[in-house]
Every structure is written in structure tokens, then in C-alpha cells.
Amino acid sequence: MPKIFHRTLLTGLLFALLAALAPATYAQTQDDNILPVTEAYKLSADAGTPGTLKLHWTIAPDYYLYRGRMKFTAGPGVTLGEAQLPPGEKHDDPYLGPVETYHHGVDAGLPYTVAPGTTRLQLSVQYQGCHEVEPKICYPPHTEHLDLPLPASAATGTTPPAGGNSALAAALLQAGGAASLPLPPEQAFRLTALAQDSQHLLLRWTMPKDYYVYRDHIALRLKDAEGLKLAAPAWPTGGVVHQDAQLGAVTVYFGNLELPVAVEGDIAERRQLTLEASFLGCQDGGVCYPLITRDMTVDLQSGTAASGVTVPGAPAAAGAGAAAKAAPPAETLPGGPIQTSLFAALLLALGGGLVLNLMPCVLPVLSIKAVGLLESGENPARRRRHALAYTAGVLTSFVALGLAILALRSAGHALGWGTQLQQPLLVAALACVIFALGLSMSGVVQFGASLGNAGAALANRGGVVGDFFTGVLAVVVASPCTAPFMGSALAYAFAAPAFSALLVFFMLGVGLALPFLAVAFVPALARWLPRPGRWMETLKQVLAFPMYLTAAWLAWVLANQRGADAVGLLLVAMVLLALALWWFERSRGRGPLHHTLTALLALAALAPLYLLAQVPATAKTLATRDGTVPYSAAKLAELRAANTPVFVDMTADWCITCKANEHTVLDGAAFRATLERTGAIYMKGDWTNEDPAITTFLQQYHSPGVPLYVVFPKGGGEGRQLPTVLTSSLVTRALEEAAR
């Protein structure tokens, strides 16, 4: 057997060993003096309080638990709220950076709701800790599965009954008692609106005993009323200060609430107004409902009362934690692009898809397609095959993405543009794919007869299949970008009926593929293409470097999601992948033993990715330099109550458009000077990882994803939503108007 084979086999085994040992911090062999994990951290649970599970860890001496490594997963029929954990001791971990830890013991409260018929509280509790004296070791994440009997009052279920049980629920409610089944929201919160005169409206909430609404989470806006707006509501006396487990001290109204609201602007000859009201409400001692939205058409002349009609798609009741996060941060909700017509949305989608070709996240993959067209030379049939197969991949991917969004929407889940990059494993896999593309274009490995058909795995195959999967890859890498025109089109698609939504996604694909279709089918454009020649090999190799830069950017995103350990595993995976591709190229035409080694090296490259999926999320804190405030609905409400203008920036590390806006506008001295001059606060929300509070804010503004920029004026009223691509003059003008 050749010596080169022995050396290569030894190298492969060495890299596989490095991959297995990469997370050594969490997999050290236990010393005889080290306690088993369940003795170092003794977990006990108390489910005696309906709606709240009490957890306690007894921590042995010289051991500690990480606050940020606690994770709770619900079992069947159980919905968990946000865990209530006390602050920990601040500690600078050599691997994780700033963390909070617990010594000796810690108590936690975990709110929950259960579906009707659920009799047991089942959930999984994951935690991780370390031994802090010699021998210093850290345990791997440990999971305990709890299966506890529910108290009698909780076992009845906390989800409002279906319409067929509403009469029973009402009877139980009238009988009194905290254990009464909650009413459907239409019966629990009856809302009407009438016109006292043409400029003054009166809203009236009528609620049964023990039901209430939150004062600071009532949001009102006029629909289709250009030139008109609502003044700040005249809050009546009679509100009760209520200690809420999630929001702290809040003002609520029980029983009845009559709320006068003035209309500002020229009513002229209007006979009616359409009013949208959103609010949060709860059953005292029972459940809290998610954000409820009602539409009412008010006759300005007759003075008759209009009943609220629930906006389609409003969710059912949920736990108090979910309700707290669903709270709108301001008195009014914005008008939104959801009013866009289908025809306008299709035109915007076509334009957005075209502009997407110029965005930096898509350009590296488009270079592959460009090389393919150049290689076609003067063969029109070959150019058309390239373009049609690529277009088929693009359109299929966009339609598949649309179907996934519709399926998740019908199941009650939320999905935004680019949210797949909130999954670290997908970020790592995409980095490996882009890295493999770069190696292919650099000549390390050849897939198929044409390097222009290079792509990951299937995309690297020649012919129609390679072109198709290059189109698929173009859509995958396009998701971190939001081009101009795309925001309105996507907002329409995320809320439109199924067929209309799919048409919008289809048109986005047409826009993305249109330049290549034009070159392939319009001879005059094709004549502009340079003739193929030896210079193309140099071009291919030069275009490999944008691929490497893209892979480096994805590694940076991964570092912000899972820290240095995850990046180390990704680098090991890339090295093993490079080794597998190099050996694949050298073993062409050789025996099956060489191919077996190629397969083993490829499998070894997957091992670090498997380990990477087990790395827990890192606690990430937004930089607070120059007075930047991390986003929270409560803080935003506090600033608005103090008549402070606020610039809200929803961003993510994987959002290329966000980073471009930060580099050109938001990180500049001119923006900071404008903030200081206007007295505005810069509030920033990070959506790099999943964050339900930010998702709720995006949904309130009908935004399909990030970036989202909203400027709130100091006098109250609606926040102004800015375009996804910012300019200094636009931001300055918006802040100056908000400060007036």
C-alpha cells in the first residue's frame, strides 16, 4: 500500500480525534472525588400551586450552576411561560465570557397552562454546572424528566372551551370561584364603540365579574382614514393597581370601562370611521388571553353603537407569560402594508426580486451562474437550458418557502423572513456548503464537466441538476437580505390568503431569476457576453474568494449565537470537509478502498456539526455604548409615558441589510448627534436568536422580518415605520419630527 495512503489515513484519524475532543470543556472524565451530577445538583419540584411549578436546586459545596444554561421543555398538553429566575452572581467565565451563576441553592418559578383533559404535568428540565476547585471540571448539559400530578384546579385545563362548551363555561363562571372555566374572549370582553359627535368616540368594555383589561396595553388606531388620527385616550378614574407576575405593578379595569377618544383632523363629509382596537385581558386567578384585536365601523351621524368583530387569525387563550409578551408597547398600532392590494404586492415582489440580485448576500452564488452562462459561449440552446433549470430551482424554493409559512401560520406559529438563520446548525451547514463552493472554484475539486455548475453536493453536479440546485442555493443565501420593495410584498404574503401568498412568493422568484432569463432568451443581450477563453479559469479562481468571505461571515454569525466553542467545531468540520474533497479528487479512478476512505472522511466532517448542535446558546448582551437601550416592551412604554421620543431598531447579526444600515447611518457620529439634539433614545432589539418579544413587535407592524425601524414621537400617537434601507437625511428628518 503506498505511503501516501498511510499518511492520509493517519491524518484523517487525527482530525476525527480532534473533532471528538473539541468540546473537551464539557466532557472531561470524572475524578473519584467528583459527585454524580444528580448529587451535585439535587432538583426537587412542587406542583401544589395551580399554574406555577416551583423548582429548587440544592447545590453541593464547591459547585455552581449556570443561570443561562437552564432550559425547560413542555410535555404533551402543557404550555410553559417564561421561567422566573433570580439574578445570579456575575462571573467572567474563561470560555463563555460574562455569565451568572448560582451557589448553594436556587429557587425558580415556572408558569404553565394545560390543555383540557391533561391530568399530569410532564416536562424536561435541562441544566449545567461546574466544580470550581481542583479537579476543575464542567458537566455536560444534564436533563431531568418530570412527571407530576396536577392539582385538582389545574387539571381541569386552562384553555378556553370551544363554542359548544361556552354555555357550560358561563354557568360555571356565574357560580363563582377561581377554578371556573374561562369564557371565550368574545364573551369575556364585550366591546362596543359609538360616536358622541363627529369628533368624539366612546369605547365601552363590558366584562363579567373577575375579568379585567390592562390600561397600558390598549391600542387604538383608525383604518383607511388618511389625514385623521386619534388623540391620546382620556383614561377614567377607577383603575385598580394590580401586581402582575410578569409586568409588575400595572393598572387594570374590572367590570366596565368607558373610554372617550377624540378624533383629530378634518372629518369633512365622512359618515363613518373604521376603528381597530387591540387589548390584553385576564381572568382574575385564571388565565390571561393573548392580544385580542377587534374592528368596529362607527356611524358618525346615527350615534348607534358598533360591536367589535374579532380580526381573523386572532389566537386563542394562552398563559399569562404569553400574554405579557404579546402586549403592544404603545397607545396606537401603526397602519401597515397589510392594506396593499394583490396587484401592487405582485409588482413589489417582482421589483424586490430584481433588486435582490444586487444584494451582497446573493452575489457570491450568482457568480456561479454567471460563469455558467459565460461558458455557454455562443450556444443559445445551452444558455436557455442553464437559465430555465436555474429558474426552476429558484421558483421551486420560493414556493416551498411559501408553503412552509402557510403551514406554520395555520398551526399558530410565526415565521419571518430569514428566521431559518436563527438555527445555528443551519448556519454551520450553510458555511460548509459555501466553503465547499470556494474550494471547487479554486480547483481543489472538480464536480462535473463544468465548474460553472459548481454548488454544494447536488448543486455541484453538472447539467440541469446542477443548475437547479444552484437556484435553490441562491434562495437560501438570499434570505438574510431584505431588498427595497420586498418588505411590503412579504408583509402582504405573510397575512394574505394562501393562493395570493403563493403568488407573491412565486413573483419574488421570477424577479430573482429574470436577469438570467433575459440574457438566455434575448439575443441582443446575449451578444454582450464576452467570448469564453482561458481568462475564465482565472475568473473562476478569483470568484472563489467571495465564497470564503461569505463562509467567514457565517462563522461570525455562529459565534454570536453559540460562542467560541461552536466556531471551533465549525472550523474542524471545514478542515475535515476540505480533506475529504481533496482526497476525493486525488482518488479519481482508483479502487473502492480509496472511495471508502473518502466516505469516512465525509462522515467525520459531520461529527463536529452533530456536537455543535448540542452547544447551548450564549447569553448575548447588546452593546450599551452611547446610551443604547436594549429593547423591552416595558421599557418602551416607560419612555413613551415620559414623553421621550424613541428610535427602535430591530436587527440581527445575519441580516446583511441591517449591518449595511448600521455601517452607513446608525453607527455614525451624525446619527448620535441627532439623538442628542432631539433628546431621543436609541432602543435596539437583537433577533439573531429567537426572541418572542421581538417577534411580537414585528407582527404588530406587519413586518415579515428584520430590519424594522420605528420612530415614536414624544407626544404619543402612532410610531412611524421607516423603510428597510436608511439614509442619514431620512433618519434625521424622522427624529426631528418626533421631537416636536
* Residue-wise pLDDT tens digits, 173-219: 333 333 355 677 877 888 888 887 778 888 888 888 888 999 988 99
Section 255-264 average pLDDT: 87
Q: Which of 168, 220, 723, 240 is nearest to 488 (CA)?
A: 723
Query: Could you please report the per-residue DSSP string of 217-277?
Result: G-EEEEES-TT-EEPPP-PPS--EEEEETTTEEEEEEESEEEEEEEEES--TT--EEEEEE
Specify the pLDDT at position 335.
Answer: 38
Strands 272-279 and 200-206: unpaired
Write down the pLDDT at residue 325.
36
One-character DSSP codes across 441-481? HTTS---SS-GGG--SGGGGSSHHHHHHHHHHHHHHHHTT-
According to the model, what pLDDT value does residue 714 have?
Answer: 87
Query: Which CATH number is 37-155 given?
Result: 2.60.40.1250
% of the chain residues with pLDDT over 90? 14
Rounded to an integer, what distance in angstroms lies between the CA atom of residue 488 and that of residue 236? 38
What single letter denotes the amino acid at residue 272?
Q
Q: Which residues, listed in sequence order, are joined to residue 711 by a DSSP beta bridge?
A: 647, 720
Task: Tally the C-alpha atoms within 13 A of residue 301's C-alpha that lie toward its C-beta.
Answer: 6
- The pLDDT tens digits of the residues spanning 586-614 come to 887 677 787 788 889 889 989 998 888 88
pLDDT, tens digit, for every residue of 279-327? 988 887 767 777 888 888 887 765 555 555 555 444 333 333 333 333 3
Neighbours of 218 (CB within 10 A): 22
Domain segments of the chain as ranges? 37-155, 182-328, 339-612, 625-738
Is the CB of residue 710 less than 8 Å from the CB of residue 485? no
pTM: predicted TM-score of the whole model, two decimal places: 0.47
- CATH node for 182-328: 2.60.40.1250
Considering the segment(s) 625-738 as one domain, its CATH architecture is: 3-Layer(aba) Sandwich (3.40)
Q: Give pLDDT, residue 601.
A: 87
* pLDDT confidence of residue 82: 84
What angle is formed at CA 684 by the lines to CA 678 and CA 690, rounded to 5 degrees? 160
CA distance linking residue 275 with residue 259, whole number of Å: 14
**Residue of 607, 615, 689 lying closest to 128 (CA atoms):** 615
pLDDT of residue 736: 92
For residue 533, name the pLDDT band (cuts at 50, 70, 90).
low
Give the chain's mean pLDDT: 76
- Are the folds of 37-155 and 182-328 the same? yes
**pLDDT at site 547:** 82
Residue 3 has pLDDT above 70, yes or no: no
| Burial class for 642, CB neighbours closer than 10 Å (0-12, 13-18, 19+) | exposed
Over 70: is that where the pLDDT of 373 sits?
A: no
Contacts of 545 (CB under 8 A, 6+ apart): 438
Poorest-pLDDT segment among 109-118, 157-166, 600-609: 157-166
Task: Quote the CA–CA distance of 609 and 611 in Å, as a whole number.
Answer: 5
Please say if the pLDDT value at position 115 is more than 80: no
